Amino acid sequence: MSNSLKTYFMKQALLEAYRAMGTTGKNPNVGCVLVKNNFIIARARTSPGGRPHAEENLVSQLSKTELNGSSLFVTLEPCAHKGKNGTSCAELISNSGIKEVFISNYDPDLRTSGKGLEILRKSKIHVFTDFLVNEGHDLNIGYLTNFSSNRPFVTIKFAISLDGKIALKNKNSKWISNELSRNFGHMIRAQSDGILTTNSTIKEDDSMLTCRLNGLEKYSPLKIIVDRGLKLNENYSIFKNTKKENLIIYHCSNDKSKIKKYPKNIDLVYFNNKKNFLNLILNDLANRKIKNLLIESGTTFCSEMIKANLVDQIAFFRSNKIIGNDGLPFVNNLSLKKISDSISMKVIDTKFFDNDIYELRRFN
C-alpha cells in the first residue's frame, strides 16, 4: 500500500471522527475505516454518549471472512479496558482477523496508554503509529488537554465588526454578524461539551445558551455560569426547565439569602479561593470530563481569561460593518509597554459566510 493511500485512508478515519464531535460525552471522538484490497469496505465512529466505541461499531458490521486480512485505520489507540460487552477494543481487533492497524495518536488514559498497542502486537498484528499525528491531536485536542493540563481546551467566540468591536457602547449588538455566521456559531455550540458565560451576560441577553439548529438541539452543551456574587435569580430564562446535570453556577459567596434565590434544579459550586477562582473552575470542569469549553461572554471576563493565559483559541466572526469609537472592543487594556509584548495568534482556519469572515486563531 502506497504512502499516499495510507494518508488518504487515515484522513477518512479523521473525517468519521469529526462527525462525532460534541456527541460522545466523556469519551474521545474516534473514527476508523477498514481497508481490503485498497478499498474501504467499512467505516465507523464513536456512538452518541460514547458507547459503543468506533472499533466495536466497525467490527460488528462485518463477517469474519470480510475482516480477515484487512487493514484498520483508527484515529486513537484502541482501548485496553473492558467495556459493557466484556472485552476491550484492542482484544476485539486481536480476535477479528485484521492483519494490521494504523494509529494516529496514543491514548493518554492510563487504562489504555500503550497497553492497547501491546495487546495488538502480542496477537501478531502489525502496528503502525503516528500517522497524521498532528491532525489526530487537533481532532481530540480537548480530550488530550484534559490529561496534560487538567483543564478543558478553551475557545472564546466573538462576533466582531470589521474594526474589532463586539457591540455599541449602549450594549446593542444585534446583529453584528449575519445569519450564516450565527448558524455556524450554533454548530460550534453543538460540538462543544460545555458553554460558559457570566451573570453580566445573562442579565444583558437573558441567553439560553442552547444550540438552536434543527435536529441538533439535543446536543446543546452543558451550561456554565460564573456568578461570583450570586447576582442572578430564578426568573431568568436559563433556569427554566433545566436539570441539575445541565447547569452549573460557580460562585464565591457564602450569603445564604442569595443562595435561596436560585432554583434547586442547578448545581451550585462554591470556591472560597478568589485568587485562583478561574483555575479552580477549569480544574473542576476537567474532572467532570468537559473536553472542549466554549466561552461566550463580554469584554471584561474574556480579557481576564486571556490575561491569565487560560484561553487556547478565539473564533472570530468578523462582519463587514464598521463601528468606530462608538463601539466596545473585544479585549480590554492588556497593560502593554511595547509592540514586542503584544499577544500573537496563528490562523488555524478561515471561512467566508457571505460578507462575514470566520477566523479561528490559536495562541502561539
Q: Return d(Cα 219, Cα 216) in angstroms, integer.
A: 5
Q: At a CB cut-off of 8 Å and minimum separation 6, what does 63 contact? A: none
**Given 3-state DSSP classes, what are the helix, strand and coil percentages for the chain, each rounded to the nearest 5?**
30, 25, 45
Q: Which amino acids are annotated catalytic?
A: 55
- The helix (H) or strand (E) run that includes residue 13 is helix 3-18
Q: Taking a C-beta distance cutoff of 8 angstroms, is the pair 56, 89 a contact?
A: yes
Q: Return d(Cα 89, Cα 50) in angstroms, integer.
A: 13
Neighbours of 334 (CB within 10 A): 11
Would you state the cell numbers that stand for residue 362, as one nine-digit string? Answer: 490559536
**DSSP letters spanning 72-91:** EEEEEPPP-S--TTSS-HHH
Would you state the cell numbers that stand for residue 255, as one nine-digit string? Answer: 450569603
Q: At a CB cut-off of 8 Å and minimum separation 6, what does 90 contact? A: 78, 79, 80, 112, 115, 116, 117, 119, 120
The sign of the dihedral angle between the CA atoms of 327, 330, 335, 337 is negative
Q: At a CB cut-off of 8 Å and minimum separation 6, what does 12 contact? A: 31, 33, 40, 43, 73
Q: Taking a C-beta distance cutoff of 8 angstroms, is the pair 101, 128 a contact?
A: yes
Q: Return d(Cα 96, Cα 66) in angstroms, integer.
A: 10
Q: What backbone phi and psi angles, to 5 degrees, belong to 28?
A: -70, 155
Would you state the cell numbers that stand for residue 203, as one nine-digit string? Answer: 442579565
